[in-house]
Structure 1
Amino acid sequence: MHALVVDDDPTTRTQLRALLGSWGYDVLEAGDAAQAESALARRDAPLLMIVDWVMPETNGVELLRRARSLPEASPLYVIMVSGKHESAAAAYALESGADDFVSKPLDPVALRARVGVGARMLAKSEALQRYAEEMSRLAEARAAEILHADRLATLGQLAAGVAHEINNPTTFIAGNAELLERVWPDLERALAQAGDARLVAISAEVPAMLAAVRGGAERVRRIVADLKSYARKGSSDPRERELANVNESVERAARLLGSRFKHDVRLELDLGDISACRIDPPTFEQALVNLLNNACDAVQGVAGATVAVRSRQRDDGIEVVVEDNGAGIPDAVMREIWNPFFTTKPPGKGTGLGLCISQRIIAEHGGALRASNRREGGARFVISGVGS
C-alpha cells in the first residue's frame, strides 16, 4: 500500500518515511500542498496520508478539503499531525475531514497502532466497494432477466391469442377434409359413371390430396398446442408443478424449433424409458429451447451438422444430454458462459441471458446444468438430478 507523508520539515518526513517503510508501506514524500496534490492525482494514488497541519501557503486542513473534493478521489485515510495538544484542535481536524489526529512529538508505538486502524478501515472499504459492485451487477442482471421474462410473457399472451385464432380455421379445415374423405367414395363412383376420363384421372389423386390436407391440419394443430403449452406462464413454486414426462417436454421443444432442423441441421433424439416427475413444463421447456437453439447456432456451417438429445433414468433423477458436433467451447469462454450478459454472438443476435436463465430454471427443479467439450469435438450440456 502506498502512503503519503506531507510535511514541510525534512527531518519529520525522514522519520515518518523510515517508520512507515519498516511497517511495509511504499512511502511517497511531499514538502508542500502542491506536491501532495500531484501525488494524489497519480493513477496509483496513495490510500494513506499523514499530513502536518501547519505548513506555509496551504495548511494541512485546506489540503485535506481539496483532497476530499476531488471528483474521482480514491478512498483516502488521513491522519492529521500537529503540535497542538488541545482537544478543540483534534475536534476541528476531524470535523474538517481527517480520520485521525496525533500530536507531536510522535510516539512510534501509538502511530503504528493508528496507521494499522487506517489500513483495516481501507481494507473494509475496499471489500464493501467490491460487494456494492457485485450487488449492482446482480441487480442489473436481475432487472434484465425480469425485462426478458416480461417480454416472454407478452409474447406468450400474443402467441396464445394467435394460436386461438389459428386453431379455429384449422379445426374447420380438418373437419371438412375428414367429411370429404367419408363421402369421396360415393363422389368417385359418380364421376366414374359420368364417363369423363379426365375427371377419373384427377379423382385418382384426390384421396392423397385429402390425406395431405388432413395431415397438414393435424401438424398445424400440434404446433398450436405446443405453442400454447410453451406460452403458458410458468412457476418456480414446487407446489404448483405437475406430474409430467420430461421426454414430452424434449419433443415439444424440438418441434418448436422444427424449422431449424429441417435443412442444414439433423436432430437425433434418443429418449429412454423414464418415469414421470414433477416439473413446470413451460419453464423447463424454456431451458431446453435455449440449449437446442444454442446447439443449432454452434453447428452453423459445419458439414454433417448434428444436434443430439438423449434422456436416461439415473439413480439421482432424470438426465438429459444435449450435444452438438460444432467447434466446442474455448476454455476462456467456458469460464464465462454462466455469467449474465456474456455472449459470443454478434450484437443483436443474443442477450447473453439464455444459459444463465436455463441454469437457474434447472436449479429450481432440483437439478444441475453443466457444460463440457466432447472428446470427438463439439459441446455437451448435461441436465442432471431432475425429479430426484
Structure 2
Amino acid sequence: MPAVDQQCRSSSSGGIDSGIDSDERSSFEDERRRRLAQLAPGLAHEICTPMQYIGDNARFLAEAAGDLRGILSWYQACLRVLAGKRHPELLEEIAAMERKVDLEHLLAEIPIAIAQSLDGIGRVDALARAFKDFCEAGSEPMAVDVERALSIALAVTQNEWKSRGEFTLEVAEAARIHGPPRDLALGLVEVVLAAAAHCGPPGAAIAVRGTRQGDRIELVFSAANSASSPQGSRSDPCDLAPARRLLASFAASLEARTDGDGWTFHLALPLNGQAGPAAAPARSPGARR
C-alpha cells in the first residue's frame, strides 16, 4: 500500500487538510472562534429583533381572531332573525357591534401583521442558514460560488454594518473559484467589516460590485454612490493582514485605495472554477428602524 503523505491529516470535520501543518490549522480554528465570538452577540440581536415583532403580531392576530369570531357569530344570529323581516333596531345593533370591535381596523391591519410575521420568519431563516453555512464551511478545497459566499458574509456581519442602511451586492457573472470554503468565508468577513468601517462617510450605503476581468473576478467594495475608483494612496486604513492570509489559498490580491474621500477595497480572485451566465443582482436586507 502506498505511503500516506505525512502532511495529509484528517481535519476536525472529517476531511483532509493537504499541506497544512497542525500549527497553521490551529491558527485557522482560533481565527474562526475569535470571529464567531465577536459576531455572536450581533447575530443574537438580529434574530431576537424580528422574533419580537413576530410575537407581538401573533398576539395581535390571536386577539383579532377572537373578535372576528364573535362578530361573525353575531352576524349569523342576526341574519336568522332578519330573514324576511325588517328590524331597524337590530341593524343598528349590528353597526354598533362593528364599531365596538373596530371591524374596519381589523380588516386593514390583519394582512399587514401577517405579512410582517412572514417577513420576520424569512429573516430569521436566512440568518440561521447563513450562520450554519458559515460555521460549517470546511477546509477541503472545492468549487465555491463567490456570490453565495458574499451573501453569507453579509448576513453574518449584518449587525456590524446595518447602520449604513444596506449593503448592496451586484455580481455580473455567477463565478466559481476553487479553494477551502472556510478560508473564503473568514476572509470575506474581514473584508466586509473593513468596508463597513472605512467606505465613504459614516452612514453611507455600501455596494459590492463584481465584474469578470479576464481569468479573474474583481470585487470592489465602495460607497454605493461612488462613481469612480480612487487611484490615490494605497496604504491600508486598517489591518488587512488576516484577510490576506486567509485568502492566500485562493491566490487572491487585496488592495485598499483612497483619494482622501473614503476608501475602496479591491479583491481579485482567480477564476480557476467555472463562470456561469449572468445572474440577477441581489440586494441584502436593509437595516430595520
TM class by shorter chain equals: 0.5 to 0.7
1:387 aligns with 2:271: yes
Offset, 1:220: 0.8
Give the AA of the match of 2:250.
H
Matching residue of 2:257: 372
2-structure distance, mates of 1:275, 1:258: 23
Q: CA deviation at 1:286?
A: 1.7
2:85 aligned partner: none
Indicate if the aligned counterparts of 1:279 and 1:365 stay in contact, CA closer than 8 A.
yes
The structure-2 alpha-carbon separation of the partners of 1:145 and 1:315, relative to structure 1 and needing over 3 Å to count, comes to same
- Residue in 2 that maps onto 1:310: 209
Instruction: Give, as a single letter, the amino acid of the residue that structure 1 aligns with 2:33.
Output: A
- Answer yes or no: is 1:149 the counterpart of 2:29: yes
Assess, with a 3 A threshold, how the Cα gap between structure 1 residues 303 and 290 changes in structure 2: closer, same or farther: closer
**Which deviates more from structure 2 when the two are superposed, residues 306-315 or residues 261-270?**
261-270
Q: 1:287 and 2:172 equivalent?
A: no
What residue is the counterpart of 2:246 in the other structure?
Answer: 361
Gaps spanning 5+ residues in structure 2: where? 1-21, 75-93, 273-289
Tell me, yes or no, if structure 1 residue 220 matches structure 2 residue 124: yes
Per-residue CA deviation, residues 344-383 of structure 1 (Å, 9 max, x unaligned), is 6xxxxxxx4xx2121122220133223333x573323222
**Cα offset, 1:223, TM superposition:** 0.7
Paired residue total: 209
Equivalent position SS for 2:112: helix
Identity of aligned residues (%): 21
Higher relative contact order (CA 8 A, sep 6+): 2
Q: How does 1:202-351 map to 2 (within 5 A)?
A: 202-204=105-107, 205-235=109-139, 237-238=140-141, 241=142, 243-264=143-164, 266-299=166-199, 302=201, 305-324=204-223, 334=235, 337=236
Q: What's the RMSD between the two structures over aligned residues?
A: 4.3
Instruction: Structure 1: state its 5+ residue gaps.
Output: 1-141, 338-342, 345-351
Quick one: distance in 2 between partners of 1:385 and 1:154? 25
How does the TM-score come out when normalised to structure 1? 0.43
Q: Is the 8 A contact 2:137 2:181 kept in 1?
A: no
1:88-110 deviation line (CA, Å, top 9, x unaligned): xxxxxxxxxxxxxxxxxxxxxxx
Q: Give, in whole Å, the separation in 2 of the partners of 1:368 and 1:280.
A: 16
Maintained 8 Å contact 1:265/1:305: yes
Pick closer, same or farther for the CA change 1:154–1:321 going to 2, 3 Å.
closer
CA–CA separation in structure 2 for the residues paired with 1:258 and 1:186: 38
* 1:144 Cα deviation from its structure 2 partner: 10
TM-score (norm 2): 0.56
For residues 261 and 147 of structure 2, what CA distance do their matches in structure 1 show?
26
Which secondary structure does the structure 2 equivalent of 1:262 belong to?
helix
CA distance 1:279–1:185, shift in 2 (3 Å): farther
Deviations 1:87-144 (A, max 9, x none): xxxxxxxxxxxxxxxxxxxxxxxxxxxxxxxxxxxxxxxxxxxxxxxxxxxxxxx979
**For the structure 1 residues 148 and 316, does the alpha-carbon distance in structure 2 shift closer, same or farther, using more than 3 Å as the test?**
closer
Q: Residues of 2 paired with 1:285 and 1:151: CA distance?
A: 11
Change in 2 beyond 3 A, CA 1:249/1:147: closer
Hey, what's the Cα distance between the residues in 2 that align with 1:258 and 1:372? 24
Q: 1:264, CA displacement in angstroms?
A: 4.2
Partner Cα separation in structure 1 for residue 35 and residue 196 of structure 2: 22
CA separation in 2, counterparts of 1:223 and 1:263? 18
Decide whether the 8 Å contact of 1:320 with 1:384 is kept in 2. Answer: yes
